[in-house]
Amino acid sequence: MVVRSSPLLQRIMNAVQVATFGGPEVCKAVSIPTPSFDSTQVLIKTEYAGINPVDTYIRSGTYARKPKLPYTPGSDCSGTIAAVGKDVTEFKEGDSVFTVRTVTGTCAEYCVADPHLTFPLNTDRLSYQQGACLGVPYFTAYRALIKRAQAKAGESVLIHGASGGVGTISVQLAKHLGLKVFATAGTENGIRIVKESGADFIYNHRTPDYTKQIMADVGDAGLNIIIEMLANVNLQKDLEMVSANGRIVIVGSRGDVNISPRFTMAKECTITGCMLGKSLEEDWREMGDAIAEHQKQSWLKPVVSLAKEYSLSNVDEAHSDIMSSAGASGNLVIKTTQ
């Protein structure tokens, strides 16, 4: 049953819509009605929306899942519960929350979400800006390290491309789990961010011999785990650096790659993918319980990029910057309220 009694549903809100798949320029600021919601859903007044690479893939029309046009982009946001459906028991009006996926898109003043993909935001520890950085980055890091790599304390892990949203939280989570963390970044600012996130060893992956430097520090045994953000560039290097029975988890790739399969044979290592959308209901419960606990702990510090301020009027710039910047520096967020 659609809720129609709330006065919020009578107002017009600012939002971003994509009417046709294409480049960043297809993101347009518009004024549209506040979305309606049913008895099992919540309406969130957003404060910030997070921008992730996957948002650009969906916008371009190249992603496996294509939304019905027109649509409002974004899956991550932080904000407060504006209204709840009559069957919702998990939240009440005024609760601070963040999302990892929504029904109507987060680049808007209001969005509709399902309660099981909406989570309490601990505002005693984290700001709303940081809350918008939790969704896809934290849950992807958790799925990659814990569900796919099955990381164990004392193992070594390379976070390959660690200065972005998923990378910085992966470094923090790996340290929390008791791993020895090796990480790469491509700029001085990125290296600084990765260092502040807690990596034990940091390398500039723009340096020609950086893999030799990694192996000199790791030793002949190689790396137990590699979390890979750009497999089309790095996968062959990863195969050369991973240990016997090691695990390479692919989080991101922007094209095809040629590799030497003999490395997988000689090392009996595994290459596995990680896609957050493959999470089952029990996975979401496990990850939700974990992040509720982790928000109380000082190690979880989502990194907000301060390079540029974004609003609903320049979401196209955020989409462009996240894919074309010289080096990732934390999470990009959109201020959704005036």
Q: In this predicted model, what pLDDT tens digit does every residue of 247-274 receive, in sequence order?
A: 999 999 888 999 999 999 999 999 999 9
Measure the CA dihedral 61/62/66/67, to 10°: -40
Whether residues 124 and 153 share a domain: the answer is no
Whether residues 273 and 145 share a domain: the answer is yes
User: How confident is residue 1, by pLDDT bands cut at 50, 70 and 90?
Assistant: very low
Domain contains 321: yes
Contact between residue 63 and residue 43 where contact means Cβ atoms under 8 Å apart: no
Whether residues 48 and 171 share a domain: the answer is no
Does position 5 have pLDDT exceeding 80, yes or no? no
Higher-pLDDT residue of 38 and 11 is 38
Query: How do strand 310-311 and strand 332-335 relate by DSSP bridges?
Result: parallel
| Through-space distance between the first and last CA atoms of the chain, rounded to whole angstroms | 31
Per-residue model confidence (pLDDT) at position 4: 45
Per-residue model confidence (pLDDT) at position 49: 98
Whether residues 124 and 106 share a domain: the answer is yes
Does position 18 have pLDDT exceeding 70, yes or no? yes
Q: How far apart are CA 233 and CA 24, in angstroms?
A: 24
Per-residue model confidence (pLDDT) at position 6: 57
Domain contains 1: no
Of 262, 277, 292, the position where a domain reaches its end is 277
Domain contains 83: yes
Per-residue model confidence (pLDDT) at position 219: 95
Residues of the chain above pLDDT 70, percent: 96
Domain contains 94: yes
Residues of the chain above pLDDT 90, percent: 89
Whether residues 313 and 197 share a domain: the answer is no
Per-residue model confidence (pLDDT) at position 327: 56
Domain contains 328: yes
Whether residues 60 and 117 share a domain: the answer is yes
CA angle 280, 285, 287 (to 5 degrees): 90
User: How confident is residue 324, by pLDDT bands cut at 50, 70 and 90?
Assistant: confident
Q: What is the DSSP string of 82-142?
A: EEE-TT--S--TT-EEEES--SS-SSBSEEEE-GGGEEE--TTT--HHHHTTTHHHHHHHH
CATH, residue 244: 3.40.50.720
Domains of the chain: total: 2
| Burial annotation 99-137 (CB, 10 A radius, 16+ → b, else e) | bbbbebbbbbbbbbbbbebbbbbbeeebebbbbbbbbbb
Whether residues 202 and 97 share a domain: the answer is no
Of 277, 310, 325, the position where a domain reaches its end is 277
Alpha helices in 16-97 (DSSP H): 53-60
User: How confident is residue 111, by pLDDT bands cut at 50, 70 and 90?
Assistant: very high
Whether residues 89 and 30 share a domain: the answer is yes
Residue (of 27, 16, 79, 123) closest to 320 by Cα position = 27
Whether residues 266 and 171 share a domain: the answer is yes
User: How confident is residue 123, by pLDDT bands cut at 50, 70 and 90?
Assistant: very high
Q: How far apart are CA 137 and CA 193, in angstroms?
A: 15
| Domain assignment of residue 85, given as a range | 7-134+302-335
Residue 243, SS3? strand
Give how far the C-alpha of residue 31 lies from the chain's centroid of Cα atoms, to the nearest Å.
27
User: How confident is residue 326, by pLDDT bands cut at 50, 70 and 90?
Assistant: low
Whether residues 230 and 259 share a domain: the answer is yes
Whether residues 175 and 122 share a domain: the answer is no
When the pLDDT of each residue in the chain is averaged and rounded to a whole number, the result is 94
Domain contains 283: no
Least confident interval from 36-45, 275-284, 300-309: 300-309
Look up residue 38 and give its DSSP letter.
Answer: B
CATH, residue 313: 3.90.180.10
Look up residue 68 and give its DSSP letter.
Answer: P
Whether residues 96 and 150 share a domain: the answer is no
Least confident interval from 21-30, 58-67, 223-232, 244-253: 58-67
Domain contains 180: yes
User: How confident is residue 7, by pLDDT bands cut at 50, 70 and 90?
Assistant: low
Mean pLDDT of 279-286: 94
Residue 221, both tokens = 């045994």
Domain contains 28: yes
Residue (of 210, 16, 3) closest to 107 by Cα position = 16
